Amino acid sequence: KMKQATLLSFFTRS
């Protein structure tokens, strides 16, 4: 089963 990553793990809030 694959898990969906979110963008928040890669990019920071500015």
Partner 1 sequence: MLEGKFESASLMKRLVEAIKDSVKLCNFNCSQTKGITLQAIDDSRVLLISLKLDPGCFEGFRCDKNLVLGLDLESLSKVLKQGNNEDYLTLIAEDAPDNLLVVFEDPKKDRISEFSLKLMDIDSDVLSIEDMDHDCSITLPSSDFAKVARDMRTLSESLQILVTKDSVKFMASGPIGTGSVIIKAHTDLKDGKESIKIDLNKSVNVTFGAKYLNDIVKASTLAETVTIKLTNKIPALFEFKLQGGYLRYYLAPKFDE
CA-only gyration radius of the chain, Å:
10
Angstrom distance (rounded) from CA 11 to CA 14: 9
Q: How many residues bind partner 1 (CB under 8 A)?
A: 14
Stretch 1-14 residues interacting with partner 1 (CB under 8 A):
1-14
Min dist. Cβ of residue 2 to partner 1 (A): 4
CA 3, 7, 11, 13 torsion-angle sign: negative
Min dist. Cβ of residue 9 to partner 1 (A): 7
Interacting residues with partner 1 (CB under 8 A): 1-14
